[in-house]
Structure formats: C-alpha cells, structure tokens
Amino acid sequence: MRDSLAFALLAALWLGWFAYWLAAARNVKATSRREGIATFLLNRIFVLIGALLLVVPHQPLLWLNKRFVPQTMAAYWLGLLIVAAGLAVAVWARVHLGRNWSATVTIKQDHELIRTGPYGAVRHPIYTGILLALLGTAVAIGEWRGLAAFVSFTVGLLIKITAEERFMSETFGEQYARYRAEVPALIPFIV
C-alpha cells in the first residue's frame, strides 16, 4: 500500500472520531466549575507537541524520523487495528458518560459519578482509549516521532487526570475515594 493511502486510512479513523466528538459535545450539562488556566494550558502544550509530532512527517531532530518498527503491511495493519480499538473504547466511554462529559476539566450541574460500563474497568476510559489509539498510530507510522507523540500526549493527559481526580474527590468525597480504591485510573486490573 502506498504511503499516501495508508496515511489516508489512518487520518480517516481519527477524523471520523473527531467529527463524532464535536457533534456529541453539543448536548452536555451546563458547567458549574472549570479548571484553572494554568492546568488547561499545560495540558494543551503537551497535546499540541504530540499532535505536531504526528502530523509533521519530517522532524528537525533526525532521530525522530528513524523507524522503530519495520515498514511492513503487517505492522501498519496492526497499528490501524489498535487505533480502531482505542477509538472505539473512547467512543463507548463518551456515550456512557452522556451529558456529564466535557472537553476540559469541569464539574457539571447535577454531575453524576459514573461507575458502570467502561467506568467499571478504569476511571478514565476515554483517556485509555485515546492513548491506545495513539499507541496504534505510533505503530502504524513506525517512526520514533510516533512514540515521542505518545509520550507527550500521555504527559498531557496525566496533568489533566490529576486535575480531574482533585475535582471529583472534592465533589464526591468518600464515594470517589472508594471508587479510586476499587478501580484503576487507566489500565484495567492495575490499581
């Protein structure tokens, strides 16, 4: 498969996910509390760095352009399958979260603590799915820039998770403390 067609399939998965994300963002509860600007900006800086690493094919740091996975169809399709699985997890979690969802760290009016569906396996299944999809993207691209992007996104999401955990603990108190003790943050079965 030619590189441009392979990139188009990968991009189509991400763009389809993003289109759904934008459409679903319109039907959410009103916000009662929002994260501070410092947390917001710090998270977005790491996300932007990760995005640039993924979409700019020729990085100025030449080692980022070297391959960590052989350029084979098997590696590409494995990566694409991992992307599809990760995005499916993120969508499943987003649907299950319903109107409590927000793109930023917020507490919604009448916010509910969701513990069912994917939220019974991990506390942050949207991030789990996104990170899985990013790992798949790194495999499909096969270059070190993909892994560097994965690391950058991971740092950004960990910053966001820290703020979310604080908000949820302050809002739900002991109920959230029990949830944290019973359900891992990102990786199922690892508390």
pLDDT tens per residue across span 27-71: 888 888 888 899 999 999 999 999 999 988 888 889 999 999 998
Between CA 104 and CA 161 the distance in angstroms is 11
Q: Which of 158, 135, 146, 42 is nearest to 89 (CA)?
A: 135
Here the tokens at position 131 are: 């990170």
pTM of the model: 0.92
Q: What is the pLDDT of residue 191?
A: 56
Burial of 164 by CB count in 10 Å (0-12 exposed, 13-18 middle, 19+ buried)? buried
DSSP code of 101?
Answer: -
Here the tokens at position 27 are: 């039907």
Between CA 101 and CA 46 the distance in angstroms is 21
Indicate if the pLDDT at residue 1 is higher than 80: no
DSSP code of 143?
Answer: B
Here the tokens at position 84 are: 């599809």
DSSP code of 102?
Answer: -
Pairing of β 31-34 and β 106-108:
antiparallel
CATH topology of domain 3-182: Four Helix Bundle (Hemerythrin (Met), subunit A) (1.20.120)
Q: What percent of the chain has pLDDT over 90?
A: 72
